[in-house]
Amino acid sequence: MKTAILADLLDFTGDPGLADRQSAHVRWRPAHWLLIDECGRIAAVQPDAPGDDWHKLDHSGQLLMPGFIDTHVHSPQVDVIASWGTELLDWLNTYTFPAEARHADPAVAQTAADLFTDALLAHGSTSAVVFPTVHVTSTEALFGAARQRGMRLIAGKVLMDRHAPDNLRDDVAGAESHCTALIERWHGQGRLAYAVTPRFAATSTDEQLAMAGRLVARHPGVYMQTHVAENRAEVAWIAELFPQARSYLDVYARHGLLNERAVLAHGIWLDAADRQVLADTGAQIAFCPSSNLFLGSGLFGWAQAAAAGVAVSMASDVGGGTSLSMLRTLADAYKVQAMAGQRLTAWALLHAATRGAAQALQLGSEIGTLNPGAMADLCLWDVAVGPVAQRRDALARELHERLFAWVTLGDERNLRACWVGGVQRYVRSARP
């Protein structure tokens, strides 16, 4: 079926920068029709209604954007979201590892995968880069759930062969065999891609990290995801475990894990030399502001990363993060950067969660844009929900002011509907 949606359209033609409210790269097309062809791709954007052979949906006055891309999130950690605790390492041991251990059970893994993928869509994220658990069952369930929903999803079995509970550790040979089989089964199937996934340097031996590097080299096109420099105590621990490495990031560089498909979460405690390595290799930082605030990890320097040419994308990092809502994540990102003296525009925030993330993932022609030929991964939003937000919206003097208020005040309750590959996968139930 060919579908046409009438709405106010917003996307980006380039990087708007961090502080330019009048950026020419903002593409705003109010009261336009977006046409979706039978293959689930965007066919055209036009001001006039199409012919009678199109199924028309009139959402006048509502905002239509590319679906958000969450570049770092943990599917099993929905079960530990909003858990009271101390810093990162204690939080992992107290909450995260026990929750992840339950995913050895295929039934638990499947229920969790279905809940997680549905929750992503209900919060406006149509694509994600995801950590399941160390278990093959968890990875299989997550890929299967994403395929059923037609989602663009990047994931891979977590690698941990030390400094983890016995029931969450693997071994080098077994992990290599499992990862190879998972790559052969899932990578490139539909809209799925595999990511070699060492949890973080502390939970992998040199031997396992070397194996991870071999997998990346052996399978061109796979991704790599991990954590880096999230917490000062973690950074100090890595220095003790890898005394030969110049820095935490250098551990990954030494094992051949940095390239244009590497996604490293956090990157708070990196230095100028590290940022240059990221820029040179094309690896991106997944900025996780809500998680960084909740766990007290620190404040990421986006301006320094941008100045060095490092790609920065946005991530919820649930369950350290406290919401799957990218709008809540973006609002926290603004606050983090404001504390560092950098006032981000709504454009910078929204770009990093759509086109910017897609470009960094080498997927710029498929997602994160409303260009013809892209997949119709779309989200429809109410710009203002509730009397306070509606009053603020009515008083907005120009477009940036209006949409900055939406980013700041909005959340999943603003989402009206989402489409994945042109198929409606979520619609908000009527409010009482």
Q: List residues bridging with 192 in a β-sheet.
A: 153
pLDDT value, residue 432: 39
Q: pLDDT digits over 356-373, tens only?
A: 999 999 999 999 999 999
90: which 2 tokens?
């204690």
pLDDT value, residue 89: 67
CB neighbourhood size of 50 (10 A):
16
From the list 319, 254, 274, the residue with the least C-alpha distance to 94 is 319
Peptide bond into 319 cis (omega under 30): yes
Cα 8-324-284 angle, rounded to 5 deg: 85
Residue 375 DSSP class: B
As a CATH number, domain 68-324 is 3.20.20.140
The two most distant CA atoms of the chain are separated, in Å, by 68
From the list 274, 259, 183, the residue with the least C-alpha distance to 225 is 259
Architecture of the 3-66+370-427 domain: Roll (2.30)
| Cβ atoms of residues 222 and 183 within 8 Å | yes
DSSP three-state, residue 410: coil
DSSP three-state, residue 278: helix
pLDDT value, residue 131: 97
pLDDT value, residue 208: 98
Q: Tell me the torsion sign for CA atoms 144, 379, 365, 337.
A: negative
Return the domain boundaries, the chain. Answer: 3-66+370-427, 68-324
Task: Point out the residues of the chain with pLDDT beneath 50.
Answer: 432
Q: Which residues contact 277 (CB under 8 A, 6 or more apart)?
A: 249, 250, 253, 258, 283
CA distances, 335 to each of 149, 252, 297 (Å): 34, 30, 15
pLDDT value, residue 98: 83
In whole angstroms, what is the distance from residue 246 CA to residue 229 CA?
Answer: 13
| Cβ atoms of residues 229 and 267 within 8 Å | yes
Write out the DSSP string of 69-101.
EEEEEEGGGGGGTT---SSHHHHIIIIIHHHHH
Please give the order of strands across the beta sheet that includes 3-12: 42-46, 26-36, 3-12, 55-66, 378-381, 415-420, 423-427
CB burial of residue 383 (10 Å; 0-12, 13-18, 19+): buried
CA distances, 51 to each of 4, 36, 378 (Å): 10, 13, 22
What φ, ψ does residue 37 adopt, rounded to 5°?
Answer: -85, 180
| Cβ atoms of residues 347 and 23 within 8 Å | yes
107: which 2 tokens?
């039934």
